[in-house]
Amino acid sequence: MAYLRGEEPLPEECLFCLKPRLPDEEAHILYRGRWCYVVLNRFPYNNGHLMIVPYIHVPSLEDLDELTSAEWMALTQTSLRVLRQAYNPQGFNVGLNIGTVAGAGVAGHVHLHVVPRWGGDTNYMSVVGQTRTIPEWLEETYRRLRPLFEQHAPG
């Protein structure tokens, strides 16, 4: 709510470069790999909406080296497994927004979104009120998913 009211200032540096320096629970980091980490989206589209983020600050997919790219995809697969176990979604949106005009909120640091989907998960609140309703607190989502990432960690 503080963010929505404009009371919470945006960080001066890249959000995705800042998060790994915070404690996992505070930053909602679900898993730390060698080249990438998995973090909950602070403003989720649905329950379980997470992102896979490389530690390196680059704006686009083609800027990633092979090791980072390989771990990124392995963590995407792990994320799908974890979310299936935790929420039993009927489908997923998995994607990148590269560049501001493509919808990237943090255009300078490439990241991949994984959004669980269910039939009927869009309701009148989204259409009429231009508001999303998420039935689970972010902290609860974190507590539900963190142990599953430890269980399913790649490698």
Cα 129 off chain centre by? 24
Count of alpha carbons within 13 angstroms of residue 70, beta-carbon side? 6
Pick the catalytic residue from 109, 111, 113, 152: 111
Please name every residue paired with 54 in a beta bridge, in sequence order, or none if there are none.
Answer: 36
CA distance 98 to 5: 27
The question of whether 49 is a catalytic residue gets the answer: no
Q: CA separation (Å) from 132 to 45, 47, 51, 128?
A: 7, 11, 19, 10
Count of alpha carbons within 13 angstroms of residue 27, beta-carbon side? 19
Active site positions, annotated:
111
